[in-house]
Structures are given as structure tokens and as C-alpha cells.
Amino acid sequence: MNETLIYLDNNATTAVAPECTAAMTECLQRHYGNPSSKHKAGEAAKEQTLKGRAQVAALLGASPAEIVFTSGGTESIHQAILGALALSPGKRRIVTSLVEHPATLMVLDHLETQGVEIVRLGVDASGQLDLAELDAALTPETALLTLMWANNETGVLFPIEQAAVLTAAKGILFHCDAVQAVGKLPIDLKQIPLDFLSLSGHKLHGPKGIGALFVRKGRKLPPLLFGHQERGRRGSTENVPAIAGLGVAAELAAAQLAADGPRIAALRERLEQGLLGALPEASITGVEAPRVSGTTSLNLGGLEAEIVLDKLDRAGICASAGAACSATGTEPSHVLIAMGLSPEAALSTIRFSLSRYTTQAEIDRVLELLPALVRSALAEAA
């Protein structure tokens, strides 16, 4: 990649950590065996998957047997949702929120066409759920609660611990889409009684095309892909290099979380205060709620975000409008609309997402450039 780029779109995807690249390269070169083979080459590859599984488990406070490797966040989410329905025969109701990622919303839309009742809870202007409303929605007919932990567009954190206490008390299964939370928040699944949790390698400086699903011990979640691998929970020959890469990414995240979190939060604060100071019409969406450290949803106050993003891109700064994975270019974000923004305000939103590799010099460069770019876009629009 162009080394001069300032990459502030880490919620779309992250740069692969050099440590992961090294582990994956070694795997590709040396550990090419099939982990199911009984010979030495197979055993060496199996060793890599065991190591990766232990590293991912350690990041979550889980045991290695509770980790199923998948192709990414989307597959993990699908397996949890479809599997939970199969685990709860007779229950045909799923509770979720309006601000979930399309990986969740689209499979739920599909299930709705099959007769499953989907309850989509709204959020307030800060992006937060009402716990009393959530509690009331968790009726005895409910098979599953599925909620994201950190929102990919605003960074707003849902009260996952409290939600897990509610579902556990009622005997309702709970899946958490933690794709934007893992590696950014300390997570100890020994302390949180949720059943399933999804994560994705490419959001925590690991490779794309690998993810994991945490399946609480005792939950017999059926597979999406049938086969003997992953103890019958996910067929297909394991992607050994990607598992090794995800394992190293998880280990790095665990080791650096305590230092990275406050540093990234301070950089975001510098970015937000600088932008609000320079752009009187701007505001930050979701700022009143607890947020994950590196995400900023900047509302430009009416100016079309795409115009500014294009100018930023030409200046070597990568950011995004709404969710990169779902952006069609002109549709306002469903997350911002659910928070009460008008379509015009939603289309006037730029998302900056920082990472472990973001530097203060990069933030200062954005602060130097963006106000002038906004002024030139306003002049062009006038």
C-alpha cells in the first residue's frame, strides 16, 4: 500500500499486523499439511490450528473448545442465528435492534419471509437501547436475542453484560456480534452469560476470510457446513495460515489492549475537539453514549459527505460515509436514521475510524486539511 496514505477507515478493515503476515507466510511455506492428516505434515498444521484456537480463546476468556473457526463475521453470525432457531424448536421469534450490521439484518429479513417473527428494537438519539423495552421484548416465545456490541458506524456500545443477565434469567439464547468490539474492549466471557459471540479477523489486524464463533460449552449448535472439521461444527479443510494469522492478531490485541485503548481514545478526542473547534456547524453523533475508542461519526451539518470524502481521498486520507460494507453511495445509513437523523443529515456524515497504527501526526494532518476542504466544498456548492 502507498505508505503516504492516512488510513482512517479501520472499521471497514484494518491493516494486517506485520507479526501476522510473518506467521502466515511461515505457515504457507512450511505448514501446508492438512490438519486432518495423521502424518507429520498434518500434525504440524494441526499444531498451528491448536495454537491459533488457544490464542483466540485467551482474548475472550473462553476455553479453546468453545472456539469454532469460520470464514468471517458474516458466517459466524449466520451460524449463530440459524443454529439458535434449530436449538429452540417451537420458538419462532428473534429479538434484535434496528442498528445491527447488514450481516445480521439481512439473514433476519430472510427468516421473516419464512414466518419467523423479528422484533427490531429502536434506539434513542444517542444510539442507545432501552433496557426496560428490551426486557419486555424477551417473551417466552423468543428463541434468540442477537445484538451487536460496538456499532460499526458510531462506535456506540450496547449494554451487553446487562442484556446477557436478562436472557440468562429467562433461559433465552443470546448471540453477540462483537466484530467491532473484539480487540478493542477487554472481554471475559467467563463473566458474561451469553451463549454465542462472533468475531472477524480483518477487523483486528488479522487477515480477511477468517473469523470465529464462540459457542458456550454445552450448546450443541448445528453447522452451516457439514463435515468432521471443527468437531463437526464447521466442515471444510481448515484455513491454516489464516487461523495462524488470526491467532497472532488476537495475542497482539490482548497484549496491547491496555495501552492501545487510552492512546486511541486520546487521539479520537484530539480529532473531535479539533474538528468541532474548526467547523461550527459540525457535531458528533453518538457522543452522549459510551463508545468504543476509535470511532467518530462526524456530522457536517448539511454538506454532502461524498464531496468531502472525495477531496479527502485525493489528499491521501481514507475515511468513509456510513458503513463501507453496505454503502450504495446514496442511501442514508439505517443506523443514523434509527438515531433520528434526517436523510440529509445522515448523508452529511463522515466516519473516521482509528487503529493501533494511527499517529498523532496523521490526526493533525486531518485537522489541518479538513476545515479547508469543507470550506472549498461549501464554496463550490454555493
Which residues of the shown chain bind ligand PLP in the complex (CB under 6 A)? 72-74, 101, 103, 148, 152, 177, 179-180, 200, 211, 325
- Smallest CA-to-CA distance from 11 within 191, 244, 268, 302 is with 268
Contact 213, 198 (CB under 8 A): yes
Residue number, nearest CB to ligand PLP: 73
Q: What share of the chain is helix, strand, coil (3-state, %, to 5)?
A: 45, 15, 40
When the beta carbons of 148 and 264 are compared against ligand PLP, the nearer one is: 148
CA distances (Å), origin 198, targets 111, 288, 365:
19, 26, 35
- Smallest distance, ligand PLP to C-beta of residue 39, A: 33
The least CB distance from residue 102 to ligand PLP, in Å, is: 8
The C-alpha atoms of residue 348 and residue 353 are separated, in whole angstroms, by: 17
Question: How many angstroms separate the CA atoms of 159 and 153, rounded?
Answer: 17
Q: Report, in Å, the least distance between residue 344 CB and ligand PLP.
A: 25
Give the catalytic positions in this structure: 325
What does the block give as the cell for 365?
A: 494532518
- Closest distance between ligand PLP and the C-beta of residue 104, in Å? 7
Given the complex with ligand PLP, which of 17 and 377 has the nearer CB atom? 17
Name which of 179 and 215 has its Cβ closer to ligand PLP. Answer: 179
Query: Quick one: which of 51, 31, 29 has its CA closest to 39?
Result: 31
Q: For residues 104 and 177, is the Cβ–Cβ distance under 8 A?
A: yes
Instruction: Quote the least distance from Cβ 235 to ligand PLP, whole Å.
Output: 19
CA-CA distance, 79 to 175, in Å (whole number)? 10
The strands making up 93-97's β-sheet, listed across from edge to edge, are 67-70, 211-215, 196-200, 173-177, 142-148, 93-97, 117-121
Grid cell of 335 as nine digits: 443506523
Q: Would you say 221 or 275 has its CB closer to ligand PLP?
A: 221
Min dist. Cβ of residue 268 to ligand PLP (A): 18
| DSSP output for 41-102 | HHHHHHHHHHHHHHHHHHHHT--GGGEEEESSHHHHHHHHHHHHHHHSTT--EEEEETT--H
Distance CA 308, CA 321 (A): 10
Round to whole Å and give the CA distance between 145 and 136. 12
Measured from the CB atom, the residue of 209 and 274 that comes closer to ligand PLP is 209
Cβ-based nearer residue to ligand PLP, 350 or 374 = 350
Minimum CB–partner distance for residue 277 and ligand PLP (Å): 30
Identify the residue whose cell numbers are 480477511.
208
